[in-house]
Structure 1
Amino acid sequence: MIVYITGRADWPAPQIGIDPAAGFVHCSDPGSVLIPARRLFAGRRDLLLLEIDPALVGVPVRWEPGDPPEPGGPWFPHVYGPIPASAVVAVHEFPCDDDEGFRLPESLAVR
């Protein structure tokens, strides 16, 4: 599974669009999602974590270094085309808790 962070107001949608500057959809896996969550979404309480089956996206998924790349850092799944809503297999609340920061939903943390 791969995951995508989005605002509650932006979901549901017919698809997840690509980042025009990058040319792909920035995703993560459960083991790396806290990196962009902390870096880009700190303090946000309106977030959802979309669980996506990469076999259902219908476009290439490539594992590549993060942006900016970190020596020895994790690689991230980049989806080279829009992700259809039908590829989203679960939706999880993903708020930033003042005391703990972000926490993975239990169903993703145990994988």
Structure 2
Amino acid sequence: MIYKLVPIADWARVAAEQEVPPSALDRQDGFIHLSAQDQIVETARRHYAGATGLVLLAVDAERLGGDLRWEPSRGGALFPHLYGSLPVEAVVGVHELPADVPVADAVADLLG
């Protein structure tokens, strides 16, 4: 399982578009940033501190096919990068994060 944090407003658009819209950073870098379970808390801490109105998407990596690549990133760790769209069929879990808990703490609590 791999993970993606997205604003609730973006997740709400998925029903009409049948794919998760890429973030501004995703568009800038040319791929969709995802995180493994052991990476998502630090991703939340670094990129979403103070953010509210987010959902954590659990994504079945096997449903992404050859567009998913594991590439070096932070500290040389391999991160999942998706070179294509993130289809709604690959999302197997959606967890709304509470607004009154720091994002990294909420993610850590969810994933135990």
Partner of 1:8: 8
Q: Any gaps of 5 or more consecutive residues in structure 2?
A: none
TM-score (norm 1): 0.78
Partner of 1:40: 47
**Greater fraction of residues in helix:** 2
CA RMSD, 1 decimal = 2.3
**Following TM superposition, by how much is the alpha carbon of 1:45 offset from its aligned partner in structure 2, in angstroms?**
2.2
Percent identical pairs in the alignment equals: 38
> What is the distance in 2 between the residues matched to 1:2 and 1:101?
16
Closer, same or farther: CA 34–105 of 1 in aligned 2, 3 Å: closer
Partner of 2:60: 53
Aligned residues: 104
Closer, same or farther: CA 84–59 of 1 in aligned 2, 3 Å: farther
Range 51-60 or range 78-87, more displaced: 51-60
**Following TM superposition, by how much is the alpha carbon of 1:58 offset from its aligned partner in structure 2, in angstroms?**
3.8
TM-score (norm 2): 0.77
Q: Any gaps of 5 or more consecutive residues in structure 1?
A: none
Partner of 2:27: 20
> Which of 72, 83, 95 is equivalent to 1:80?
83
